[in-house]
Amino acid sequence: MEAVRREHDGELCGHVVQQDRTWVAMVVFGAVIGTHDTREAAEAHVLRDGLAVLADRWTLRNLVTGADEIVCIQEAHPGSVTLALGYYSMPGVPTLTLTADELAGGTWALVR
């Protein structure tokens, strides 16, 4: 996995990784936001959308039970993400912190 940073300030926007013959664009904690034929296209996607999509509503999917829940990202770091469970991120709402390993482990998926 290779970090993608904005040129003018060095801000981490996400990552790209080659899988088979495609390049995968990911946000900072490792969730996939797209696949591309070239590394350049994946990097451009991360630079364009990698930070902006963190403000979107996501769906947290339990891959074991099939249950879906709308979530908001409260904190995103390389290797982990803290989610507000439910449609709004307000004080007192239940939260869940998942590591990148947990997201890659086959139990949880975050999709836009």
pLDDT at 112: 86
CA distance 54 to 71: 11
**What pLDDT does residue 87 have?**
85
- Where are the domains positioned within the chain? 2-53, 55-111
Its pTM stands at 0.88
Could you tell me the mean pLDDT of each successive run of 10 residues in the chain, 112 residues long?
96 97 96 97 99 97 96 95 92 94 91 88
Q: What is the reported pLDDT for 13?
A: 98
The CA distance from 21 to 67, in Å, is 32
pLDDT for res 88? 85
Task: Output the CA torsion 62→89→29→42 (10° steps).
Answer: 100
